[in-house]
Structure 1
Amino acid sequence: MVKNGQQAAIRTLRYQDDGVPDGGVEVTTFARLRAMPAGSVHPPVQRADFHVLAIVGAGHGSVTVDFVRHRVEPGTIVWIRPGRVHRWDDITEVDGTLVLFRPESVPHGSPGADPLGPVSWRQPGRPALVRLAADHVRREYDAAGVHRIPGSTAILRALLEVLLLRASDCAPPPPAGREAFTAYAAAVEAHFAVSREVAWYARRLGYSPRTLSRATREAAGRSAKQFIDDRVVLEAKRLLAHTRVTVAECARRTGFDDPANFSKFFRARTGLTPGAFAAQARTSAGR
């Protein structure tokens, strides 16, 4: 059901249901993942338009998500949200369940709806309940593949909601009162290449710039303007590290009319020119 596309060096993954009424939920294992390009000796960098929730039961490895490496070990939960550039590393001995699901399959108001939620965490407290919930989803998915009953889709959606609640129950709690920041973060994700001005977002969302700045500082520890700039820099790093686009094309894709202004912006925030960062990233990847 998950199909592959190609975008330069970033492997694009899109969820396709192939006409099967699965409720937008697919379940696999690390053993199956190792048979795919994502689990190969030289795994590709990839970006999916769906969620990936991994419940690790055994083994050690790592996953790199947007340039941050996260350890994978027994009891780890990994939640890769749509659009995150990631790569699985060293998973030859890792065992566990992976649940793939479309954004619309996430219940409204669920902790999983937060695009800036944590990527990985351990399961303190009640790890057995998380594993049981994941196992229940997997068994129902496998059973539906053999003999689908009329209620299979609804059952899978309900079990996914239970799993998300169990997994989120173990996650670090989000800051209280972050409605304004959540709206701002979603707007920045959608429009960072259109505007880098806080006032532009404030007008669209119906908040004052001061409210957005306070909410962003409380939730992310950054000013509202720094939050936009961080997102632009992240996208530029993705393009420079994982594709062969020119600096001029990278500038255009991140909303700059003038490559020189983009280079000045990037260097002020990273300490490197775009060209130097790309060369450094390629050297690291080669090693």
Structure 2
Amino acid sequence: MNRNGHIEVTDLHLRTSAGAPPGAEVLSLGALHTRALKHGRGLAAPVRPSFHHLIAVRSGPLSCSVDFADHTLEEGAWLWVRPGQILQFRSGLATAEGSVVLFQPGLLDAATARAARVDRPAPRTVPLHPGDDAPRRTLDLLEDEFGRLGELPLEAHMEVVRHLLSVLLLRLAHGRGGPGEDGGDNEAFQRFREAVERDFAHSHRVEDYARRLGYSVRTLTRATRDAAGCGAKHFVDERVLLEARRLLVHSGLATSVVGERLGFPEATAFTRFFRTRTGETPAAFRARYRNAES
């Protein structure tokens, strides 16, 4: 927390180790802990990575927070943190055993990324518990490949990495225990979700999205309920609420300015929206979260 009282979040960009292929890296949790210390980041400092973190825990616990949701990962758990989400390790990074795969958006070919749902807006992040050991075995192969740097020309090595990463992500995306709120082949929901991710700070009305996308409000509501388990309006509001929480905690902006950035015409409208959905005012949420972190 800085002297102005807000909890600083670091925008994190992928810097692979010397000699490693560009765009991807596999580290042990212990090595990730060492890297954080080397770059002068506190182990509990929140970061906003511009790349994917795929965390696999062999023995835990590993406690972390993703966009204000706390998770405790035990043996066999996976967690997929998408670019732009706020990640904060709470405890266990130095003691838990496991691996983390770091990779840039755009690393995989478009067809694979689409099939593995890699570049879609982040769903609600929950730990994954695959129903078999196929992802674990694929990760073992990926780790082994990273241990063989220099045995192949870099371009060939990178292709092996891409293929193994593709298999791993496809297994996780489509296996038992895969991520929820994805929508699968629900085209209406996918288009709606992408539009919300792009325009949530400007439009909060389902009618606006329906008109631009060429669907009825009923169609979007039904598609969203089928894919995400909630109505379309609730889906929009949750995305606005997430961004409000991020800005309230990790910026020094006045609450009125946060409301303006999120498309509310006046501060009272933002306060009313936030209190209706959380039971507390923006100022109270900010104070409570900062007191908990201090």
**Normalized against structure 1, the TM-score is what?**
0.86
CA contact (8 A) 2:54 2:101 kept: yes
Q: CA deviation at 1:265?
A: 1.5
1:208-219 aligned at under 5 Å gives the runs 208-219=216-227
Q: Percent identity among equivalent residues?
A: 35
Q: Which is richer in strand? A: 1
Q: Which amino acid aligns with 2:82?
A: R
Q: CA deviation at 1:21?
A: 8.5
Corresponding position of 1:4: none
1:159 aligned to 2:161?
Answer: no
Q: Given the alignment, which residue of 110, 113, 131 partners 2:116?
A: 110
Corresponding position of 2:99: 97
- Deviations along 1:64-88, whole A, 9 cap, x unmatched? 1112111111101111111111211
Q: CA deviation at 1:19?
A: 11
Rounded to whole Å, the distance in 2 between the matches of 1:18 and 1:74 is 27
1:43 aligned to 2:44?
Answer: yes
| SS of equivalent residue, structure 1 residue 187 | helix
Rounded to whole Å, the distance in 1 between the matches of 2:77 and 2:247 is 29
Instruction: Tell me: CA distance 1:41–1:23, structure 2 relative to 1, closer, same or farther (3 Å).
Output: closer
Instruction: Tell me: CA distance 1:67–1:105, structure 2 relative to 1, closer, same or farther (3 Å).
Output: same
More displaced 10-residue stretch of structure 1: 95-104 or 145-154: 145-154
1:238 aligned to 2:238?
Answer: no
Corresponding position of 1:9: 8
- Deviations along 1:230-274, whole A, 9 cap, x unmatched? 111111111112332211221122122322221122112111111
More displaced 10-residue stretch of structure 1: 189-198 or 175-184: 175-184
- Unpaired runs of at least 5, structure 1: 1-6
Corresponding position of 2:140: 135
Rounded to whole Å, the distance in 1 between the matches of 2:11 and 2:170 is 28
CA contact (8 A) 1:54 1:99 kept: yes
More displaced 10-residue stretch of structure 1: 165-174 or 215-224: 165-174
Rounded to whole Å, the distance in 2 between the matches of 1:254 and 1:153 is 41
- Deviations along 1:7-55, whole A, 9 cap, x unmatched? 9711111236799893622211101111233897651111112111011
1:186 aligned to 2:186?
Answer: no
Q: Which amino acid aligns with 2:116?
A: S
Q: Given the alignment, which residue of 108, 119, 131 partners 2:126?
A: 119
Instruction: Tell me: CA distance 1:139–1:148, structure 2 relative to 1, closer, same or farther (3 Å).
Output: farther
1:171 aligned to 2:177?
Answer: yes
**Normalized against structure 2, the TM-score is what?**
0.84
Q: Which amino acid aligns with 1:110?
A: A
CA contact (8 A) 2:50 2:83 kept: yes
Corresponding position of 2:3: none
Rounded to whole Å, the distance in 1 between the matches of 2:258 and 2:37 is 26
CA contact (8 A) 1:241 1:282 kept: yes
- Deviations along 1:106-139, whole A, 9 cap, x unmatched? 4222143443164312233x22x32221122122
Q: CA deviation at 1:282?
A: 0.8
